[in-house]
């Protein structure tokens, strides 16, 4: 499918299209890495503003991967355009996160069942009270099953989507831990809320790159290249979802 409606920050190239399910890392170069490493015959469908997007074949079905940028405003912009203008039915965020929970370790895979946030974005949708954005149950269930079959250590629960990378109050990490949150990142609440209102599917998976209460962290190069288990879980979940969508 080509560009069916004007969009602000994407333009699907002639002769290319976006698959029904899209993996979204924050870094567009990580999207390029995933496409070149895991997809057969990847084709670049978008490079506007350097936000690279590719469509290729994984396990016999079409899957796309595209960068989202950093933060809730960026991922909601791109997910809205993918859901609204390009026929996308599901988005799986793949990324890194900082561990918070005691039982979460560096390199673990976290599956975000729900996402709390300090962002004002969800409040702008007009629903009285507080929105509680959550993952699509079918994709979450499939991801956990696939991880179990692969023997990958996972934690399933709530994460915290922060508008701050460098939070002004360092004590906030203790509050996140006390609330039972597993990890902190910057996009999932926006993606889940956008999917909620678009009546589409969304899931967020993370490899823990560092821990706020443990002396462990991954280098930038390890963050870029060593997330193979999380990526494979996401790709297999995406392929299963495409098959179910028909």
Reduced DSSP (H G I as helix, E B as strand, rest coil) percent helix, strand, coil of the chain, to 5:
35, 30, 35
Q: Which residues are catalytic?
A: 210
Looking at per-residue confidence, does 121 or 143 come out higher?
143
Percent of the chain with pLDDT over 70: 95
Average pLDDT along the chain: 92
Lowest mean pLDDT among 7-16, 60-69, 111-120, 175-184: 7-16
What would the pLDDT profile of 122-171 be if each residue is shown by its tens digit? Answer: 888 888 888 999 999 999 999 999 999 999 999 999 999 999 888 888 88
How many C-beta atoms surround the C-beta of residue 55 within 10 A?
23
Q: In the chain, count of helices (H) and strands (E)?
A: 7, 10
Res 208: pLDDT: 92
Bridge-based pairing of strands 90-99 and 183-185 is: antiparallel
What would the pLDDT profile of 85-112 be if each residue is shown by its tens digit? Answer: 999 999 999 999 999 999 999 889 999 9
Residue 224 has pLDDT above 80, yes or no: no
Cα 146 from Cα 228, distance rounded (Å): 14
Res 67: pLDDT: 98
Q: What is the pTM of this model?
A: 0.93
Looking at per-residue confidence, does 3 or 100 come out higher?
100
Looking at per-residue confidence, does 113 or 128 come out higher?
113
Residue 221 has pLDDT above 90, yes or no: no
Residue 29 has pLDDT above 90, yes or no: yes
123-140: buried (b, 16+ CB within 10 Å) or exposed (e) per residue? eeeeeeeebebbbbeebb
What would the pLDDT profile of 191-203 be if each residue is shown by its tens digit? Answer: 999 999 999 999 9
Res 3: pLDDT: 42
Cα 65 from Cα 51, distance rounded (Å): 11
């Amino acid at each position: 499918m080509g560009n069916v409606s004007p969009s602000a920050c994407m333009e699907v190239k002639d002769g290319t299209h976006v698959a029904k399910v899209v993996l979204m890392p924050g870094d567009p170069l990580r999207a390029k890495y995933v496409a070149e490493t895991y997809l057969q015959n990847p084709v670049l469908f978008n490079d506007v503003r350097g936000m690279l997007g590719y469509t290729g074949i994984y396990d016999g079905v079409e899957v796309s991967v595209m960068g989202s940028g950093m933060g809730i405003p960026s991922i909601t912009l791109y997910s809205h355009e993918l859901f609204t203008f390009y026929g996308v039915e599901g988005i799986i965020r793949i990324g890194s996160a900082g561990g918070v929970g005691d039982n979460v370790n560096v390199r673990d895979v976290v599956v975000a069942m729900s996402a709390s946030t300090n962002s004002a974005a969800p409040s702008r949708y007009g629903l009285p009270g507080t929105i509680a954005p959550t993952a699509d149950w079918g994709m979450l269930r499939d991801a956990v099953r696939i991880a179990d079959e692969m023997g990958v250590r996972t934690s399933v629960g709530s994460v915290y989507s922060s508008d701050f990378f460098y939070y002004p109050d360092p004590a906030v990490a203790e509050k996140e831990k006390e609330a039972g949150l597993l990890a902190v990142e910057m996009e999932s609440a926006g993606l889940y809320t956008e999917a909620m209102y678009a009546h589409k599917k969304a899931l967020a998976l993370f490899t823990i790159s560092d821990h706020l209460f443990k002396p462990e962290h991954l280098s930038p190069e390890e963050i870029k290249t060593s997330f193979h288990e999380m990526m494979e879980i996401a790709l297999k979940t995406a392929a299963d979802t495409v098959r179910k969508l028909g």
